[in-house]
Amino acid sequence: MTRVYFRLAFIPIVLLTAVLVLFRAQPYDDHQLQQLLTPDDCPAPCFMGIRPGVTTSKEALAILQRHEWVDAISVISNENPYQIWWTWSSAAPDILKSPPDNPDYPSQGEVYSSGEIVSNIGFTPQWALGDIVLTLGIPPETQIIVGGMVITPDSSIVANTALAYQAQGFWASARTRCPFNSNLWHSAARLRITNQFDGISTGAVYAINQKAFLVNVRETSTRMCGV
């Protein structure tokens, strides 16, 4: 009887292992992701020809107005377009066309300026954080930000994990629900193209080094979520 139970248990293990092997054997096509995040013809940080720290807000507005990927554009002031919002056109790559973060505010991309110079570009593509890590690896500097003070573990806590890809000129962040260690890679990635890498100060910040990244994510999940 024990031998029968062992055989019954062994079959799903073999099937699961086969599925995992097949999944790992599939080639990961990151060409489009690489081209969008690290274009050959524009030094980082750069997106659609706009370079934070270099491009002026008026130049950014002009670039967006003539770019085939951009549909509707909104600005606070045409004379001083320090905040610009846009939606994607039908010509934009499908991978960029995620729904707006806020349905009541249908912006899909933003440009923010400090003074007259663009400081960052933000958008949420159809990538999970795991797609970014598969393509570029875990960067040397990362953070986990937990909003507010956590007295006791709570499975409703949401964390923000921010990965600083300084060489490529962007932050990749994701809001992750408990447990963080299992949900992190599937969480939608928010990208911030920028030359500013001075960290994020909101909430309780847990800095993580590259070597201890996975261990720290698991320990933070246990401490905050209880799982």
Most confident of the following: 137-151, 170-184, 196-210: 170-184
pLDDT at 11 over 90: no
Reading the block at residue 12, the tokens are 């799903």
- Are 100 and 106 in contact by the 8 Å Cβ rule? The answer is yes
More confident residue, 219 or 12: 219
Q: What is the pLDDT of residue 110?
A: 94
Provide, rounded to the nearest whole percent, the portion of the chain with pLDDT above 90. Answer: 34
b or e along 16-52 (b: 16 or more beta carbons within 10 Å of the residue's beta carbon)? eeeeeeeeeeeeeeeeebeebbbeeeeebbbbbebbb
Whole-number Å distance between alpha carbons of 227 and 225 = 5
Q: What is the pLDDT of residues 172-198, one digit of tens each?
A: 989 888 888 888 889 999 999 999 877
Whole-number Å distance between alpha carbons of 78 and 61 = 8
More confident residue, 218 or 50: 50
